[in-house]
Amino acid sequence: MRTRPDIRNVAIIAHVDHGKTTLVDAMFRQSGIYREGQHVEARAMDSNPLERERGITILAKNTAIDHNGVKFNIVDTPGHADFGGEVERVLQMVQGVVLLVDAAEGVMPQTRFVLRKALELDLRAIVVINKIDRKDARPSEVVNEVFDLFIELGASDEQADFPVVYANGKAGIAKYALEDESENLEPLFDTITKHVPEAPAEDGGFQMLISAIDHNRYVGRIGIGRVFRGSSKVNAPIAKVARDGHVQSGLRLTKILGFHGLERIEIEEATAGDIICVSGIEGLNIGDTIADAALPEGLDAIAVDEPTVSMFFMVNASPFAGKEGKYLTSRQIRERLMRELESNVALRVSDTESADTFEVRGRGELHLSILIETMRREGYELAVSKPRVIITEKDGVKMEPVEYVVIDVHEDYAGAVIESVGRRRAQMSNMITVGETRRLEYTMPTRAIFGLRGELLTLSRGTAVMSHVYYTHQPLAGDIPGRSNGALVTSDTGTVTAYALMGLEQRGRFFVDPGVEVYEGMIVGRANDDKDVAINVARAKKLTNMRAAGTDENFRMPPAEEMSLERAIEFIEDDELVEVTPQSIRLRKRILDESERLKARKREKAFAG
């Protein structure tokens, strides 16, 4: 097959926070993408506001760098397991991967996941040991860990014979060997040029596979993908071949865009090997093929792993419904979810018996919570349920998703963490000592991870770090202990008062401060024991002429426990919901009336008995 010696298509893959986006920044600087004196945001590829706030990459993005006569089409991919769908589909665009591994942390769960996907597609891998400037860096050991991982994942002899480059992405330095002197990333550019295969350029009728979708208010849907075969020019007649084989003809390629740094530039012609954007094609979806009108042949799109977690999204029916949101109805929520399906390939949405409730399936809690956070920022108001794992059946046996989990914790807290995780039917596979830190490696059911992060932070005084990735499906394990604390549930509607909180301080830890509006059935705190407690946080002090000298003035409430969206989703149980609006995140009972809740509980016990 003919190839393009002037093009290398490569994806940068790694565990979260191992420095992918920072390394791309350094490559931009060295190749002259940035003008002298130009103000540039750090991590320029993380353009989504949520990405900037959280310091993670959520969406895979394309860029291109021209360096020494070679065009490097680079895909910056997410590092978090929940966005694995993004990684899987973009790998079809490239012929090689740069596997980035932190010189101190070494092989982590997502390192294993992304490398497995790359090896399955028979992509050539270059290993970059990044952050060699860290005080706790152990680059030689990490190279051995990476080699062991290649062997464990069944790499061929050719795949396991990978080149290694040592880098400090922040400083823009790469080396062939640790003792080398270097002032730039030239060794990395050279290694990619030598070891990533030239882009294949098959002759014949035009074929381009859509691997990503973008939106623009002026031109509508934009399809991004690699040209597999032939060439095409602007206004050429084309056909769209859907994943199911349906052919839509009579179309024209109205606009072709190529990549240059962070910009997209209009080009007149695209040829096999190029990664481009096309627009002006109605109903374009990921997995579709854009083909020559005279030869409308489709390409096989990659199969994305199925979701492992589901949640119910429903119309907000709380007493405060409609006060803060712009889009409230089931029709508006449904339209938004259907629109998300067009670009979020790992997501599934289905209707339920209730017209106001939708089942949404994804790759993990974070995958779904990012969608919820995005919707609330767009003005949507909704309620969501506790996440549940998706149970499948194989040969008559119920199977559940199991995760590979790595926990890094200081040795002082390791015992408490091991005990806590052990109660959740986790199987320890390894324990490594790195300085004063213990690295604990487990396999455990996905449902055992719900709420675990918060528990580990409590046990380790906020220092434990947990990473996890889907591992396999295994027969359904037994019961797993849920939340150990009950909820403090308000019995009245009104405004929280300092006077009421002062009298209830011994009951637990509060999620609300004085002045917050609450309603009956709303969860306002975490109880000290495992029972739910109904309390009145809106009780006001009776006005009399008598005063206790200095009591009110001296009372200092501890600050309320901050409930982020993720922590709220982790906290709730099956009989509870998270109410999400553009301004607030509230926790509530499904049944707001206390007497009705008690009746429902009695009915459940009678039914179970």
- Burial annotation 306-316 (CB, 10 A radius, 16+ → b, else e): ebbbbbbbbbb
Note whether 51 and 67 are within 8 A (CB).
Answer: no
Q: Is 21 annotated as a binding residue?
A: yes
Note whether 95 and 4 are within 8 A (CB).
Answer: no
Q: Is 133 annotated as a binding residue?
A: yes
Helix ranges (H only) for 300-451 are: 330-341, 365-377, 411-422
Beta strands 348-351; 275-279: pairing state: unpaired
Q: Is 135 annotated as a binding residue?
A: no
Please tell me the distance from the alpha carbon of residue 173 to that of residue 156, in angstroms, as a whole number.
30
At 555 the three-state DSSP class reads: coil
Q: What's the token pair of residue 162?
A: 């990978």
- Sign, CA dihedral 81-84-86-91, equals positive
Q: Is 130 annotated as a binding residue?
A: yes
Note whether 297 and 289 are within 8 A (CB).
Answer: yes
Phi-psi region of 457 (alpha: psi -120 to 50; beta: other; left: phi over 0): alpha
Note whether 207 and 229 are within 8 A (CB).
Answer: yes
Residue with tokens 């062939």: 176
E strand spans, 411-514: 427-434, 437-445, 465-475, 487-490, 494-495, 508-510
| Cα dihedral 127→130→133→134 (10° resolution) | -110
Please tell me the distance from the alpha carbon of residue 9 to that of residue 508, in angstroms, as a whole number.
56
Please tell me the distance from the alpha carbon of residue 537 to that of residue 593, in angstroms, as a whole number.
16
- What is the CA 79 to chain-centroid distance, rounded? 8
Beta strands 199-200; 533-535: pairing state: unpaired
- What is the CA 163 to chain-centroid distance, rounded? 29
Residue with tokens 């409430």: 557
* Cα first-last separation, the chain: 70
Q: Is 194 annotated as a binding residue?
A: no
- Sign, CA dihedral 32-128-171-83, equals positive
Q: Is 20 annotated as a binding residue?
A: yes
- Give me the residues paired with residue 222 across strands: 214, 279
Q: Is 39 annotated as a binding residue?
A: no
Q: Is 473 annotated as a binding residue?
A: no
At 31 the three-state DSSP class reads: helix
Q: Which helix (H) or strand (E) holds 288?
A: none
Q: Is 132 annotated as a binding residue?
A: yes
Beta strands 397-410; 437-445: pairing state: antiparallel
Task: Return phi, psi of residue 327, to 5°.
Answer: -115, 115
Please tell me the distance from the alpha carbon of residue 57 to that of residue 50, in angstroms, as a whole number.
9
Binding site, annotated residues for GTP: 17-22, 130-133
Binding site, annotated residues: 17-22, 130-133
